[in-house]
A and B are shown apart, each in its own frame.
Chain A
Amino acid sequence: MRILIIEDDRDAANYIRKGLKESGHVVDHAADGEEGLEMGRSSEYDVLVVDRMLPMLDGLSVVETLRDEGVSSPVLILSALGEVDHRVEGLKAGGDDYLVKPYAFAELLARIEALARRRDPEAVRTKLVVGDLEMDLLARKVVRGGEEILLQPREFRLLEFLMKHSGQVVTRTMLLEKVWDYHFDPQTNVIDVHISRLRSKIDKPFEDALLHTVRGAGYRLQA
Chain B
Amino acid sequence: MTHRLPSFVRTTAFRLTLLSAALFALSSFLILAFVYAASAGAAISRTDAVISDELEAVERRYTDAGINGVNRYILQRTAGGSDFLYLLINPNGRLLSGNLNGVPVAEADPDGWLDFTYGRAPVSDADEDQSSRRARARLVEIGEGYSVFIGVDFENEDRLIGRLLRAILVASALVIALGIFSGVVVSRRFSRRLDAINTVSRSVKGGDITQRAPRNGSGDELDELSANFNAMLDRLEELMHRMRNVGDSIAHDLRSPLTRMRNRMEDALREGGNQQSRQAALEQAMADSDELLSVFNAILSISRIEAGERRDSFKVFDPAPLVADIGELYEPVCEDSGHSFGLQVEEGLKVRGDPNLVSQAMANMLDNAVKYTPESGAIQLRLRRHSDGRAEISVTDTGPGIAEADRLRATQRFVRLEKSRNQPGSGLGLSLVKAIADIHHAVLILDDGPGDVEQHGPGLRIAMIFPLVAKKA
Contact residues of A with B, CB < 8 Å? 82-85, 102, 104, 154, 180, 182-190, 193-194, 196-197, 216
Q: List 28 A-B contacts (CB under 8 A).
A: A83-B304, A83-B309, A84-B310, A84-B356, A85-B313, A102-B293, A102-B296, A154-B328, A184-B359, A184-B360, A185-B294, A186-B363, A187-B294, A187-B364, A187-B426, A187-B429, A188-B330, A188-B333, A188-B370, A189-B333, A190-B330, A190-B332, A190-B333, A193-B333, A193-B336, A196-B336, A197-B332, A216-B286
Q: Which residue of A lies closest to B367 (CB)?
A: A187
Q: How far is the CB of A199 from chain B (nearest CB, A)?
A: 12
- On whether the beta carbons of A180 and B356 are closer than 8 Å, the reply is no
Q: How far is the CB of A28 from chain B (nearest CB, A)?
A: 28
**Count of chain B residues with a beta carbon within 8 Å of a chain A beta carbon:** 34
9 more CB-based (< 8 A) A-B contacts, given A85-B310, A183-B356: A154-B328, A182-B356, A184-B360, A185-B294, A186-B367, A187-B364, A187-B368, A188-B330, A190-B333
Q: How far is the CB of B280 from chain A (nearest CB, A)?
A: 14
B264 in the interface (beta carbon within 8 A):
no
The docked-state distance in angstroms from the alpha carbon of A186 to that of B425 is 10
B371 in the interface (beta carbon within 8 A):
yes
- On whether the beta carbons of A185 and B356 are closer than 8 Å, the reply is no
The 3 closest A-B pairs by CB, nearest first: A187-B367, A193-B332, A184-B360
User: Which residues on the B side are within 8 Å of A184 (C-beta)?
Assistant: 301, 356, 359-360, 363
B297 in the interface (beta carbon within 8 A):
yes
Q: How far is the CB of B140 from chain A (nearest CB, A)?
A: 99
B237 in the interface (beta carbon within 8 A):
no
The docked-state distance in angstroms from the alpha carbon of A83 to that of B354 is 12
Q: How far is the CB of B429 from chain A (nearest CB, A)?
A: 6
Of the residues A83, A187, A197, contact of B310 by C-beta under 8 Å: A83
B243 in the interface (beta carbon within 8 A):
no
User: Which residues on the A side are within 8 Å of B309 (C-beta)?
Assistant: 83
The docked-state distance in angstroms from the alpha carbon of A180 to that of B330 is 12
User: Which residues on the B side are within 8 Å of A194 (C-beta)?
Assistant: 329, 332
User: Which residues on the A side are within 8 Å of B371 (C-beta)?
Assistant: 187-188
Of the residues B286, B363, B368, B370, contact of A182 by C-beta under 8 Å: B363
The B contact surface, by secondary structure, is: helix
The docked-state distance in angstroms from the alpha carbon of A104 to that of B291 is 12
B 355-390 to A, binary, CB cutoff 8 A, 1 in contact else 0: 010011001101110110000000000000000000
A-B interface pairs (CB < 8 A), number: 60
User: Which residues on the B side are within 8 Å of A193 (C-beta)?
Assistant: 332-333, 336
Q: Which residue of A lies closest to B370 (CB)?
A: A188
* Residue of A83, A183, A196, A216 ringed by the most chain B CB atoms within 10 A: A83
B325 in the interface (beta carbon within 8 A):
yes
Of the residues A82, A85, A180, A196, contact of B329 by C-beta under 8 Å: A180
Q: How far is the CB of A126 from chain B (nearest CB, A)?
A: 26
The docked-state distance in angstroms from the alpha carbon of A153 to that of B424 is 32
Contact residues of B with A, CB < 8 Å? 286, 290, 293-294, 296-297, 300-301, 304, 309-310, 313, 325, 328-330, 332-333, 336, 354, 356, 359-360, 363-364, 366-368, 370-371, 424-426, 429
- On whether the beta carbons of B332 and A182 are closer than 8 Å, the reply is no
- On whether the beta carbons of B359 and A182 are closer than 8 Å, the reply is yes
User: Which residues on the A side are within 8 Å of B325 (C-beta)?
Assistant: 180
Q: Which residue of A lies closest to B336 (CB)?
A: A193
User: Which residues on the A side are within 8 Å of B356 (C-beta)?
Assistant: 84, 182-184
The docked-state distance in angstroms from the alpha carbon of A185 to that of B428 is 13
The docked-state distance in angstroms from the alpha carbon of A23 to that of B363 is 35
The docked-state distance in angstroms from the alpha carbon of A187 to that of B294 is 9
Q: Which residue of A lies closest to B313 (CB)?
A: A85
User: Which residues on the A side are within 8 Å of B332 (C-beta)?
Assistant: 190, 193-194, 197
The docked-state distance in angstroms from the alpha carbon of A197 to that of B332 is 8
Q: Which residue of B lies closest to A104 (CB)?
A: B290
The docked-state distance in angstroms from the alpha carbon of A196 to that of B290 is 23
Q: Which residue of A lies closest to B292 (CB)?
A: A102
Q: How far is the CB of A88 from chain B (nearest CB, A)?
A: 10
The docked-state distance in angstroms from the alpha carbon of A83 to that of B371 is 26
- On whether the beta carbons of B367 and A188 are closer than 8 Å, the reply is yes
User: Which residues on the A side are within 8 Å of B426 (C-beta)?
Assistant: 187
User: Which residues on the B side are within 8 Å of A188 (C-beta)?
Assistant: 330, 333, 366-367, 370-371
The docked-state distance in angstroms from the alpha carbon of A28 to that of B181 is 78
- On whether the beta carbons of A187 and B425 are closer than 8 Å, the reply is yes
Q: How far is the CB of A103 from chain B (nearest CB, A)?
A: 9
Q: How far is the CB of A150 from chain B (nearest CB, A)?
A: 16
User: Which residues on the B side are within 8 Å of A183 (C-beta)?
Assistant: 356
* Residue of B293, B329, B367 ringed by the most chain A CB atoms within 10 A: B329
User: Which residues on the A side are within 8 Å of B290 (C-beta)?
Assistant: 104
User: Which residues on the A side are within 8 Å of B286 (C-beta)?
Assistant: 216
The docked-state distance in angstroms from the alpha carbon of A90 to that of B360 is 22
The docked-state distance in angstroms from the alpha carbon of A102 to that of B370 is 27
User: Which residues on the B side are within 8 Å of A216 (C-beta)?
Assistant: 286
The docked-state distance in angstroms from the alpha carbon of A102 to that of B292 is 11
Q: How far is the CB of A2 from chain B (nearest CB, A)?
A: 30
Q: How far is the CB of B293 from chain A (nearest CB, A)?
A: 5
- On whether the beta carbons of A190 and B329 are closer than 8 Å, the reply is yes
Q: How far is the CB of B355 from chain A (nearest CB, A)?
A: 10
Q: Which residue of A lies closest to B335 (CB)?
A: A193
User: Which residues on the B side are within 8 Å of A84 (C-beta)?
Assistant: 310, 313, 354, 356
The docked-state distance in angstroms from the alpha carbon of A3 to that of B468 is 51
The docked-state distance in angstroms from the alpha carbon of A184 to that of B365 is 13
User: Which residues on the B side are within 8 Å of A154 (C-beta)?
Assistant: 328
Q: How far is the CB of A44 from chain B (nearest CB, A)?
A: 35
Q: How far is the CB of B275 from chain A (nearest CB, A)?
A: 17
The docked-state distance in angstroms from the alpha carbon of A183 to that of B357 is 10
* Residue of A82, A188, A197 ringed by the most chain B CB atoms within 10 A: A188
Q: Which residue of B lies closest to A153 (CB)?
A: B328
User: Which residues on the B side are within 8 Å of A189 (C-beta)?
Assistant: 333
Q: How far is the CB of B423 from chain A (nearest CB, A)?
A: 10
The docked-state distance in angstroms from the alpha carbon of A210 to that of B426 is 34
Of the residues A185, A190, A196, contact of B297 by C-beta under 8 Å: A185
